[in-house]
């Protein structure tokens, strides 16, 4: 019998990542047939038309001008005060805000989600997210002793948010749990590119307000990792205004990432923010999450926090950053547009794409379709409910034709 040295709760943990698996198959094909012939639609970073990592010029400029001590020194455990203030400005803007706000620096968006799951869901209990979801949510839940449960993101026509199923799931879980953490990734959801409209947000809040009337605790985590790929500031951030006049037992958490918005993927910086109508709940948020930060990573990349502050406190640099982000967003959107239009022309049903890195195609047997696609040297990621195509990394010349190839791969498997 195999022996385990790991503690019981850690035994048999193996990270299965379909993205890395598809990527490995793609690398093997490149080695055999040459990069020109292969379409790699698996990578989750923005690559230019030649396959090189895109770095925002303003970020690179500020990064290169920074002093060695900026990177090498420790940062405060909760994050630099000016970084936290910058995060507050980014989320709440300069309009009047009724309510209380708190934030802690985290190891990217992943760290923020970790803290939210670790501190706002009871051990052994359920956390709720949509059925199309970023697989890491499940890993974080398992790691912290929680169970991930899902609601149907879309109605049967794949057009709108499925309020009926969302409400049913929230009510079902709250019938047995005293509290519930719900994760919604919007705008520019991974893997579908869906964004809830402002009126959909209003309705979600209506439902949660109504459920909160029973006195149970509801924590809503909004994962905004791709927000700067969803549209300009006014459009993409507008829904935040809806998070006001919250009952005390409805806490809104927001996970923010510098990975996509600043192309700082490997520098590991982000934040978990909180909005509440109660000063006491925010004080608890700050204390609890500082405690977790000390235990998990101690403190966060100091250089990335300084870079964030330097850009956002300088009107010219922040204007330049906004222009850089717009350029990158439009670049990705052009590729997505090609795919979406070609899907419509060839009759391939896709999930509504509103923006962001990925487009999703619902499929009965995603793994078999992806395997079939590989015969055409096209590599995409098979998920549970469909196929993920990365518009962020697939050059324009290669994304053209992919929709049709997916359609014929599906047809051939019928």
Ligand X SMILES: Cc1ncc(COP(=O)(O)O)c(C=O)c1O
- CA 234, distance to chain mean position in Å, is 20
Specify the residue, 223 or 342, whose C-beta has the smaller distance to ligand X: 223
Q: How far apart are CA 325 and CA 376, in angstroms?
A: 33
Site mask, ligand X, residues 162-201, x = CB under 6 A? -----------------------x----x-----------
Question: How big is the CA angle at 12 (ends 8 and 13), to the nearest 5 degrees?
Answer: 100
Tell me whether residue 167 or residue 325 sits nearer to ligand X (CB atom). Answer: 325
What mask of x and - would describe binding to ligand X in positions 229 to 268, judged by CB under 6 A? ----------------------------x-x-----x---
Query: Residue-wise over 61-75: b if at least 16 C-beta within 10 A, else e?
Result: ebbeeeeeebeeeeb
Nearer to ligand X, 102 or 109 (CB): 109
**Least Å from the CB of residue 116 to ligand X:** 11
Smallest separation (angstroms) from ligand X to the CB of 209? 25
Which range of residues in 103-111, 286-294, 295-303, 363-371 is near ligand X by CB under 6 A?
103-111
Residue nearest to ligand X (CB): 108
- Pick 227 or 275: Cβ nearer ligand X: 227
The CA distance from 130 to 155, in Å, is: 12
* 211, 246 contact by CB (below 8 A): no
Judged by CB under 6 A, the stretch of 78-86, 94-102, 106-114, 169-177 that binds ligand X is: 106-114
Closest to ligand X by CB, 137 or 339: 137
Sole window of 108-116, 117-125, 192-200, 367-375 interacting with ligand X (rule: CB under 6 A): 108-116
- The tokens 């999450």 sit on which residue? 289
Single out the residue of 134, 161, 166, 243 in contact with ligand X (rule: CB under 6 A).
Answer: 134
Task: Provide the token pair at 164.
Answer: 């009926």
Candidates 75-83, 104-112, 298-306, 340-348: pick the segment binding ligand X (CB under 6 A). 104-112
Q: Which of 41, 220, 225, 250 binds ligand X (CB under 6 A)?
A: 225
- Strands 250-257 and 217-223 come out as parallel
The minimum distance between CB 117 and ligand X, in angstroms, equals: 12
List phi, psi (to 5°) of 40: -100, 100
79, 102, 109, 356: residue in contact with ligand X (rule CB under 6 A):
109
- State in angstroms the smallest separation of the CB of 115 from ligand X: 12
344: DSSP letter: H
Give alpha helix (H) positions in 194-314.
Answer: 198-212, 233-237, 258-261, 279-296, 302-312
Terminal-to-terminal C-alpha distance of the chain: 43
DSSP β-bridge partners for residue 253:
221, 274
Which one of the spans 59-67, 105-113, 246-254, 343-351 is the region binding ligand X (CB under 6 A)? Answer: 105-113
CB of residue 250 to ligand X, shortest distance in Å: 22
Based on CB atoms, which residue is closest to ligand X, 277 or 382? Answer: 382
Output the smallest distance, CB 345 to ligand X, in A: 29
The helix (H) or strand (E) run that includes residue 163 is: helix 163-174
- Strand positions, DSSP E, 167-233: 179-185, 217-223
Query: What is the Cα–Cα distance from 414 to 402, expressed in whole angstroms?
Result: 19
Q: Which of 120, 207, 222, 197 is nearest to 168 (CA)?
A: 207
Part in contact with ligand X (CB under 6 A); list of ranges 25-33, 107-115, 235-243, 372-380: 107-115
Answer yes or no: are the C-beta atoms of 227 and 87 closer than 8 Å: no
- Pick 194 or 339: Cβ nearer ligand X: 194
> CB-wise, 78 or 249, nearer to ligand X?
78
Residue 252 corresponds to which tokens in the numbers above?
């809104």
Identity of the residue, 137 or 285, whose beta carbon is nearer to ligand X in the bound complex: 137
Contact flag: residue 108 with ligand X (CB under 6 A): yes
Question: Which parts of 130-265 fold into alpha helices (H)?
Answer: 136-143, 163-174, 198-212, 233-237, 258-261
Question: For residues 93 and 62, what is the distance between their CA atoms, to the nearest angstrom?
Answer: 23
Cβ distance to ligand X smaller for residue 214 or 266: 266
Burial of 16 (0-12, 13-18, 19+ CB in 10 A): exposed
> Which residues are 271's β-sheet partners?
105, 256
To the nearest 10 degrees (0 to 180), the angle between helices 315-346 and 57-65 is 140
- Binding to ligand X (CB under 6 A) within 21-50 occurs at 44
Quick one: 146 or 405, whose CB is closer to ligand X? 146
90 binds ligand X (CB under 6 A): no
Residues that bind ligand X (CB under 6 A): 44, 108-110, 134, 185, 190, 223, 225, 257, 259, 265, 270
């Amino acid at each position: 019998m195999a022996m385990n040295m790991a503690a019981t709760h850690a035994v048999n943990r193996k990270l299965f990542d379909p993205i890395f698996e598809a990527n490995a198959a793609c690398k093997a094909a490149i080695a055999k047939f040459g990069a020109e012939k292969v379409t790699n639609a698996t990578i989750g970073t923005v690559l230019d038309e030649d396959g090189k990592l895109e770095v925002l010029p303003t970020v690179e400029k500020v990064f290169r001008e920074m002093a060695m001590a900026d990177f090498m020194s420790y940062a405060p455990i909760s994050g630099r005060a000016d970084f936290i203030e910058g995060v507050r400005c980014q989320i709440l803007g300069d309009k009047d805000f009724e309510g209380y706000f708190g934030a802690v620096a985290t190891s990217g968006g992943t760290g923020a989600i970790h803290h939210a799951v670790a501190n706002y869901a009871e051990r052994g209990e359920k956390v709720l997210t949509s059925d199309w979801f970023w697989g890491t949510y499940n890993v974080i839940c398992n790691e912290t002793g929680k169970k991930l449960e899902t609601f149907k993101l879309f109605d049967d026509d794949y057009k709108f948010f499925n309020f009926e199923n969302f409400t049913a799931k929230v009510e079902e879980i709250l019938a047995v749990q005293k509290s519930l953490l719900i994760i919604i990734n919007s705008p520019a959801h991974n893997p579908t590119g869906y964004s809830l409209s402002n009126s959909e947000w209003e309705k979600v809040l209506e439902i949660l307000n109504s459920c909160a009337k029973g006195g149970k605790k509801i924590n809503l985590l909004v994962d905004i990792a791709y927000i700067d790929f969803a549209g300009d500031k006014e459009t993409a951030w507008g829904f935040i205004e809806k998070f006001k006049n919250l009952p005390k037992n409805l806490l809104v958490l927001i996970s923010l990432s510098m990975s996509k918005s600043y192309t700082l993927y490997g520098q590991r910086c982000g934040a978990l923010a909180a909005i509440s109508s109660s000063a006491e709940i925010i004080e608890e948020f700050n204390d609890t999450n500082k405690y977790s930060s000390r235990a998990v990573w101690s403190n966060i990349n100091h250089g990335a926090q300084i870079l964030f502050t330097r850009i956002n406190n300088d009107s010219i640099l922040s204007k330049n950053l906004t222009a850089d982000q717009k350029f990158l967003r439009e670049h990705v959107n052009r590729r997505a547009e090609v795919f979406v239009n070609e899907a419509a022309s060839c009759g391939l049903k896709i999930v509504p794409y509103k923006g962001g890195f990925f487009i999703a195609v619902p499929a009965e047997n995603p793994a078999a379709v992806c395997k079939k696609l590989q015969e055409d040297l096209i590599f995409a990621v098979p998920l549970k409910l469909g196929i993920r195509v990365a518009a962020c990394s697939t050059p324009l010349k290669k994304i053209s034709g992919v929709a049709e190839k997916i359609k014929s791969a599906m047809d051939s498997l019928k």
